[in-house]
Amino acid sequence: MDKTLGFRELGLAPYEPTWQAMKRFTDKRNPSALDEVWLLQHPAVFTQGQAGKAEHLLNAGEIPVIQVDRGGQVTYHGPGQLIAYLLLDVRRLGLGVRELVSRMEQSLVGLLASYGVESYAKPDAPGVYVNGAKIASLGLRIRNGRSFHGLALNVDMDLAPFRRINPCGYAGLAMTQLRDHAGPIEFAEVTQRLREQLVSRLGYADQITLEKS
């Protein structure tokens, strides 16, 4: 097994074409294909997971809503939020879904700790929290032993759209972001630190940067 994790940094990318590209990658990859993580931001969009309930979408307004095939309820994506889509052969890695989610959460906790921010995961509500407020959301889909979708970390963004929904299905859930706890930060530096955390926590030996697809 190749223990190298490939990263593609896609910049600001529209949601729907990226989602379709993830599905194509997952369906067409062969057993020896390199695992990849796509790092990006999305223009403002609400996404509703497979179990999503309409009552959790309070007032979408001009922001589009897309029904998607990940787990979980409704969430918001927008500029200033770091997204990592994990396109992994989970079966080859020997990880169960719960273990993969735990390692994703550990990666985020480790990243935040590197900025002096204490955070934690909740066993009954996937994601990462700081003082009761959610700073990162997780949502995955596993198909034929392969994962897609991933995590979203609030770095330096407009949090107001979260008030138009019950984030992840929780009415009144407070949202927060890294800037509010660590002061001014470089988005590129946060991205690099997340790369290092994912390589380490997921058990890879090395990483490479891949061209934009």
**Which residues have a catalytic role annotated?**
168
Binding-site residues from annotation: 70-77, 137-139, 150-152
Which pairing describes strands 81-87 and 35-41: parallel, antiparallel, or unpaired?
Answer: antiparallel
Cα–Cα distance for residue pair 128/32, rounded to 1 Å: 32
Cα–Cα distance for residue pair 127/80, rounded to 1 Å: 18
Residue 16: CB atoms within 10 A of its CB come to 14
Binding-site residues from annotation for substrate: 70-77, 137-139, 150-152
Q: Which two tokens stand for residue 43?
A: 């223009």
Q: Which two tokens stand for residue 53?
A: 């309930």
